[in-house]
Amino acid sequence: MCGICCSVNFSVEHINKHLKEDLLYYLKQRGPDSSKQLLKSDVNYQCLFSGHVLHLRGVLTSQPVEDERGNVFLWNGEVFNGIKVGAEENDTQIMFNYLSSCKNESDILSLFSEVQGPWSFIYYQASSHYLWFGRDFFGRRSLLWHFNNLGKSFCLSSVGTQTSGVTNKWREVPASGIFSIDLKSTAISKCVILTLYPWKCISRGNVTKECVNSLTQISADLPKFVSVEASEAKLYLEKPVVPLNTMLPQAPFETYHTDVFRALPVRETLQVYLTDKHMKEVVQQFIDVLSMAVKRRVLCLPRYESLTPDEVLKICDRKANIAILFSGGIDSMVIAALADRHIPIDEPIDLLNVAFMTKEKTMPAHFNKKRNKQKYCEIPSEEFSKNPATAADDNPDKQFGVPDRITGRAGLKELQAVNPSRIWNFVEINVPLEELQKLRRNRICQLIHPLDTVLDDSIGCAVWFASRGVGCLVTQDEVKSYQSNAKVVLTGIGADEQLAGYSRHRVCFQTHGLEGLNKEIEMELGRISSRNLGRDDRVIGDHGKEARFPFLDENVVSFLNSLPIWEKANLALPRGIGEKLLLRLAATELGLTSSALLPKRAMQFGSRIAKMEKNNEKASDKCGRLQEISLENLSIGKEFKM
């Protein structure tokens, strides 16, 4: 994972050899292992490339990389499939080698059509004066653009910056395809024209109509002096996933799911489903494809294999290389159980569980009474560990006993029962109100932008604190402060969108039936890049960690897309069973019997961040808290040096 940036200036008399300090600071946070910049000048324009690398595979390869012909490449991605990358090879160099051998735009599009995994990139083609850039089909890596000075300059970057009192012009680059711009032509004509090569589904019909719709939507969010057009040759990228199966049952849906299921005890419902031979096969296929997705994401990083046995023995404490955003809910439980299959048994796994301070006592009085006799530690955060007065209560169970903490502890016990040999580090991350407000104002608001809703605030802050991994480990014997140093963070995003996990899916089904539900799920995947993934990548990447999304692996999505809707969810059944039915059946097969029955609870409610400040807000409202930029934040990069 990397922080990448390219600043283009068409007014060469005002050459800028340095990026703004605050932007450099946030880019450096994403890539702490290597920083480099490169200036490419032409008579008509100049490009400043800046690359900051988080080293995870192969030989450390500093960015930007340049070849003998002057081509320049910035890569923020992981090749998990589609293109061969050896265990000792670096995918940045592999991708650059392929790009350098491309003879035309069709070759470039073919290359990116084959890559499976998250990516964003910037590629300067020296001979043609073209700049290529874009994000993967799901938008799993952030890339923003900023056009200013009436087309005299623009910037592409993994992160943006805000300025107090000034309208923010950063926008997310749409994950609609790959873009190119002819820098020489733009400098001469003074007109900024972007060419879009959109994703195309080979088996779908009206590609021209889809492209026109994409161009219209993108243009609506750009300044008037920037235009977007399709390529003259009508070239496209091939979508990496199969189309959604929208088939409907020939008989009424109720005949497939009779009242027998509704009459059964909740726990027995899943067992009865698994007696059906076809359904059991589907569940096993799902487990297999998801397990492979998790395997790719937990093994693509350096471990101790290169050390001798004697060197390994000298390492007193094995550190966790993998962390999981962990609520104890069905999504994170299944990911944890599958990660356990592939991570070396002597390597701990960090389970990151975040809770925000509540005013009322939410922990049931009977829950784990032994814990109340223990001595607890307040969260040792960077901001608050120096000030004990910030602890508002002597008993964290009272103020941090939120729903996700309760289900998280229960999930920990279930995982320990499945594999007692594994060290499961359950990291309790407690966030007081004052710390939330200060770090949001000083730091997190910059990362969430350009998104700006109440929902973005709640989830963005929760994910930032959780992925930071600063908390406590509580065992029967002791309580100690803990900092997760895992560079890879697995998240369960994508499960709800594909398996009808949200409450709005149930409402849609009740109103419009299976046909309406299919349309809703198709829409969910289509907008996931703009609603979630860019934001989450910026927030997690700020800690020098990489977010990985097993449920959005191309093979997993294609498998789920191939199934009819009733094999993925049955919203005629009660909450806690019907939504994400296929995942619940998989959890049951994996031995996770209790968590398989937990109802969906959104992160902002499970962690109680949504209850900390204002209770009367709507998720879609503009969030004023994200506009409160600290003066301290505006000078945050003053001490940063390249």
**Active-site annotation, residues:** 2
> How many Cβ atoms are within 10 Å of 633's Cβ, its own excluded?
19
Half-sphere exposure of 78 (CA within 13 A, CB side): 26
- Quick one: DSSP state of residue 626? G
With beta carbons less than 8 A apart as the criterion, state whether 349 and 294 touch.
Answer: no
For residue 309, whether the previous peptide bond is cis, meaning omega lies within 30 degrees of 0, is: no
With beta carbons less than 8 A apart as the criterion, state whether 164 and 87 touch.
Answer: no
With beta carbons less than 8 A apart as the criterion, state whether 287 and 596 touch.
Answer: no
Q: Please give the sequence-ordered ranges of beta strands (E in DSSP) within 326-451, or none if there are none.
A: 349-356, 424-431
Sequence-separated (6 or more) residues with CB below 8 Å from residue 234:
208
With beta carbons less than 8 A apart as the criterion, state whether 543 and 468 touch.
Answer: yes
Q: How far apart are CA 536 and CA 461, in angstroms?
A: 10
**How remote is the C-alpha of 262 from its chain's centroid?**
36
Tokens (6 digits) for 96: 């650059």
- Give the chain's end-to-end CA distance (angstroms, integer): 19
Sequence-separated (6 or more) residues with CB below 8 Å from residue 213:
none
**How remote is the C-alpha of 566 from its chain's centroid?**
27
Q: How far apart are CA 202 and CA 144, in angstroms?
A: 28
Instruction: Give backbone dihedrals phi and psi of 57, rounded to 5 degrees, phi first.
Output: -150, 150
Instruction: Give backbone dihedrals phi and psi of 487, rounded to 5 degrees, phi first.
Output: -85, -20
Radius of gyration of the chain (CA): 25
Tokens (6 digits) for 411: 């999930």
- Strands 192-200 and 237-238, how do they pair? parallel
**How remote is the C-alpha of 415 from its chain's centroid?**
24
Beta-bridge mates of residue 472? 428, 481
